[in-house]
Amino acid sequence: MAFTRAESAASTASTLSAEWNKSPPASTLSAEWHKSPPYERPEIPCIVHFGANSRFFAAHWAKIVHDVNLETHTPMGIIGVSRSSPPEKTQIDDNIFVLTDRDADHENTELVGSVTKIVSNQQKPGLEKIKDYLAADSTHTVTMTITQNGYYQKDKACETNQYKIDIAHPDVHHDLTSLDQPKTTIGTILYGLRERYAQRKQLADNGKVTVMSLDNLPNNGKILRALMADMAAEQKQINPELVFDGFIKWLESHVLVPTTVVDRIAPEPDDALNDRIRMEQGYHSDANVKVTERVPEGFAQLVVEDLDFPSLFPKADLKKGGVLFEAKMDSYWQRKFLLLNAGHTIVATLAQAFGLGGKTIADAMQDPVLAHTLTQIHSQELMPLIKNQSPEELAKFASDTRTRFLNPALGDQVARVGAEGGRKIPKYVLYSIRQAHSKNDGNFKGLTAVLAAWLLMLAESKAANGTPVMLKDEKNFEKYSLATLGQQVRVAANDPKIESRTEAINGMLKDKAGFFGAVGEDELLRSKVASELADLLPRMLTEDGLKDTLHSL
């Protein structure tokens, strides 16, 4: 049952609002939901999810499971694991939340009931419950949205298959010695899987289970599998009597860890938007209503590596919810990473350089020069890097991505997306330059212009039109001495001689190779980028110069 707001302003009183307004909201919501729910919420869950407080989890995975439940006769329930204590339950909460999908021309509001319980992993009783859920025969899937830092990977920039757990981190060190009181997500999963292994003979498929990362990380399945194996091996070495002899081999053969690609834009809704939705849905005035609003875009996608899943894994049902299963994942990750993620950073960086830091991404995309620049970079520099997809498929995904950026209903702020340039510029822009250099005949002029725009903001602390720019990135400023880099850029950009300007930039890239990566380390690539920056920087110092330069790409 979906509660949908009609598109016309005259129809803003939705079905849900009407149902709530028949009698006092607090009692009606509880009675209506439990009397005739869209599906029977299961008493025994089959999915354990780590990161239940994640906004993205609510907007993405919880919604997908909800959609599956609407289509099947055997609804699935999610146990959410939270690092904080769960809120006190009210008579009408029961972990139900309100989700409003918003596109430019429609809104759709639903009560999502796929999350049946929330358990905190901060205390021993909660950990015991989580262990029991992970070991239960009914549990077929374990998922997580814990961000990159939650994996405790030793070298986050590692691009080989040698992924290692950071045993020097205090939380990881704790989990290596205190196996029954884990602090990390991976340590907690292993805690439950050791119990599952102990009970395997009583379980279907000898306890076989699927563990999926739903974080926006390349090769997230390979990373998670390697880190789980590495921590288990370290635990076995330190505590041989506590880790069963056959556990590590069982972990390798009976725990499937597919790679996934996740996609949905889910910005934090502002108070005014929340208030409007609450008023339209009819529960704005009742303090007892403790439902949380999530307001993502309409588009959502989950692609899962197609493996030999356990018999209980609901592959057919997940397909009904729109989940794609693919044998080869590289092209899906590449197009999402390069066209969407890198594209988002490109738009936000240029918008800040234009002095649009106080606007939304949709507002920024209305600028014809910015929209032209993104289209050119998409088609000429990024799409040629993506393998195993037809030009028509890539062109459609790129066009759809730009349309998503134009969605005014999201209200996604340029300042939010553009934050942490010290992390995002290397991750997206410098990475793309490196890939273009190696695979695309060195065509990366547009990407270098984006880098130049960011470097000038770093140097001047203002946009090209003089608007002050605050680059909220203290962690990376300190890590890479970005203030010093800004000073070097300022000197180079104002050097009137092209030869000495190029030489200074080349030296800067080499000196700051810790930040610039291969762009600073590879002599040929460094020379090309230095030459382009030497040409671009002085031309982009003014607003007219910036836009003329980008328009000429």
**From CA 62, how far away is CA 77, in angstroms rounded?**
9
DSSP string, 205-269: GGG-EEEEE-SS-TTHHHHHHHHHHHHHHHHHHH-TTTS-TTHHHHHHHHEE---EEEE---PPP
Give bridge partners of residue 294 from the DSSP assignment.
99
The CATH number covering residue 507 comes to 1.10.1040.10
530 and 542 together in one domain: yes
| Contact by Cβ (8 Å): 127, 83 | no
Q: Is residue 54 part of a domain?
A: yes
Residue ranges in 260-389 assigned as alpha helix (H): 271-281, 315-320, 330-335, 342-353, 361-364, 368-376
Distance in angstroms between the alpha carbons of the first and the last residue of the chain: 49
Query: Which pairing describes strands 260-263 and 115-120: parallel, antiparallel, or unpaired?
Result: unpaired
* 3-state helix/strand/coil string of 40-68: CCCCCCCEEEECCCCHHHHHCHHHHHHHH
Q: Is residue 2 part of a domain?
A: no
408 and 535 together in one domain: yes
357 and 369 together in one domain: yes
| Contact by Cβ (8 Å): 504, 491 | yes
Q: Residue 114: which of 171, 153, 86, 75 has the closest Cα?
A: 75
Q: Is residue 343 part of a domain?
A: yes
What pLDDT is recorded for position 368?
Answer: 97
Question: Can you count the helices (H) and strands (E) in the chain?
Answer: 27, 12
| Contact by Cβ (8 Å): 62, 116 | no
249 and 347 together in one domain: no
Residue 316, classified by CB atoms within 10 Å of its CB into exposed (0-12), middle (13-18) or buried (19+), is exposed
What pLDDT is recorded for position 160?
Answer: 53
> CB-based contacts of 162: which residues, under 8 Å, 6+ apart?
226
194 and 182 together in one domain: yes
Listed residues 309, 326, 343: the one ending a domain: 326
- pLDDT per residue as tens, the chain (553 positions): 332 322 222 222 233 233 323 322 332 333 343 333 478 888 899 999 999 989 899 999 999 999 999 999 899 999 999 987 554 443 345 787 778 888 877 778 788 889 999 999 888 899 999 999 999 999 999 999 999 999 999 976 555 567 999 999 999 999 999 999 999 999 999 999 999 999 999 998 999 999 999 999 989 999 999 999 999 999 999 999 988 889 999 999 999 999 999 999 888 776 776 677 667 666 554 444 444 556 778 889 999 999 999 999 999 999 999 999 999 999 999 999 999 999 999 999 999 999 999 999 999 999 999 999 999 999 999 999 998 899 999 999 999 999 999 999 888 899 888 888 888 999 999 999 999 998 866 789 999 999 999 999 999 999 999 999 877 777 778 888 888 999 999 999 999 999 999 999 999 999 999 999 999 999 999 999 999 999 999 999 999 999 999 999 8
**From CA 416, how far away is CA 366, in angstroms rounded?**
18
440 and 482 together in one domain: yes
39 and 58 together in one domain: yes
Q: Is residue 533 part of a domain?
A: yes
**From CA 44, how far away is CA 241, in angstroms rounded?**
32
What pLDDT is recorded for position 104?
Answer: 75
Burial readout 108-142 (b: 16 or more C-beta within 10 A, e: otherwise): ebbbbbbbbbbbbbeeeebbebbbebbbbeebbbb
**From CA 209, how far away is CA 255, in angstroms rounded?**
5
227 and 159 together in one domain: yes
Q: Is residue 3 part of a domain?
A: no
Listed residues 292, 326, 360: the one ending a domain: 326
The CATH number covering residue 42 comes to 3.40.50.720
Listed residues 326, 341, 367: the one ending a domain: 326
**From CA 482, how far away is CA 476, in angstroms rounded?**
7
303 and 243 together in one domain: yes
How many domains, the chain? Answer: 2
DSSP string, 70-120: HH-SS---EEEEESSPPPPP-TTTTT-EEEEEEETTEEEEEEE--EEEEEE
What crossing angle do the helices spanning 342-353 and 445-460 adopt, rounded to 10°?
A: 50
Q: Is residue 307 part of a domain?
A: yes
What pLDDT is recorded for position 533?
Answer: 98
* Total-model pTM: 0.84
Q: What is the CA radius of gyration of the chain?
A: 25
Residue 59, classified by CB atoms within 10 Å of its CB into exposed (0-12), middle (13-18) or buried (19+), is buried
405 and 274 together in one domain: no
Q: Is residue 514 part of a domain?
A: yes
Q: Is residue 4 part of a domain?
A: no
299 and 424 together in one domain: no
388 and 535 together in one domain: yes
Residue 391 to residues 335, 372, 399, 401: CA-CA distances in angstroms? 12, 19, 12, 15
Q: Residue 536: which of 444, 441, 462 has the closest Cα?
A: 444
The C-alpha angle 110, 19, 22, rounded to 5 degrees, equals 160
Amino acid at site 150 = G
Domain boundaries, position 443: 330-551
Query: Which pairing describes strands 301-305 and 260-263: parallel, antiparallel, or unpaired?
Result: antiparallel
